[in-house]
Chains A and B, each alone.
Chain A
């Protein structure tokens, strides 16, 4: 399996729908991230989870709700989205923390292409 797997790869939803994006990393990393890639801002950090704790919420609207049940899985729950939320959502993982060789290198998944109608 590839290092970071994202599903679904493509998602079309209406503004009143509720859907979720899933990310799974098979690299044994302890940090996971959601990035948004759109025409306006190429790679925009949304959320960071370190040791399953959310350490960063980059002023993301509440219609995006992350969930990290363990260090290998990350979800992004979507509800009442707007058309301007259409973008590619990228998940990434890295190894961080004191006492552990940490390069800061992010390993990205292939992304979930979201279209909001």
Chain B
């Protein structure tokens, strides 16, 4: 499941530091956003989501911030660990009503230095 060959933006952080991964989305009508993590050899895994009526949501060690004015989404990881090394994708829902159509961003590779 790795994104081999992709020239992804890369964020390198020291173990224990906080990480911030940014994402710009395209559709101002999108009402739902998700962050996914993809480790090498695996499919993407859900991390955290946020709806457009919120601007911040916290999970365990992760926080998602949504700025609808500039169509910007960020994922903050506290006390980054080696197991956090992966490619991170943001996704926006462009579906209508109760239908979900997730469109993914290009991804950011997070490297955690020991």
Contacts and interface: CB of A to CB of B under 8 A. Distances in A.
Nearest to B5: A39
Best-surrounded residue of A35, A102, A107, A108 (most CB of chain B within 10 A): A108
A111 B46 contact: no
> How many of chain B's residues touch chain A, expressed as a range?
20 to 34
A83 B21 CA distance: 33
Interface string B84-101: 000101010101011111
A88 B99 contact: no
Nearest to A90: B43
A42 B107 contact: yes
A72 to B, nearest CB: 17
Contacts of B91: 43, 106
A37 B4 CA distance: 10
> How many of chain A's residues touch chain B, expressed as a range?
20 to 34
A112 to B, nearest CB: 10
B34 interface: yes
A103 B1 contact: no
B101 A94 contact: no
B104 interface: yes
A25 B87 CA distance: 24
A48 B99 CA distance: 10
A88 B107 CA distance: 15
Contacts of B99: 50, 55, 96
A116 interface: no
15 contacts: A37-B3, A39-B3, A39-B5, A42-B87, A42-B104, A43-B89, A43-B91, A55-B99, A90-B1, A106-B34, A106-B36, A106-B46, A108-B45, A110-B1, A110-B42
Given A102-B98, A109-B43, 6 more contacts: A4-B43, A43-B44, A45-B101, A56-B101, A96-B98, A98-B98
Interface of B: 1, 3-6, 8, 32, 34, 36, 41-46, 49, 87, 89, 91, 93, 95, 97-107
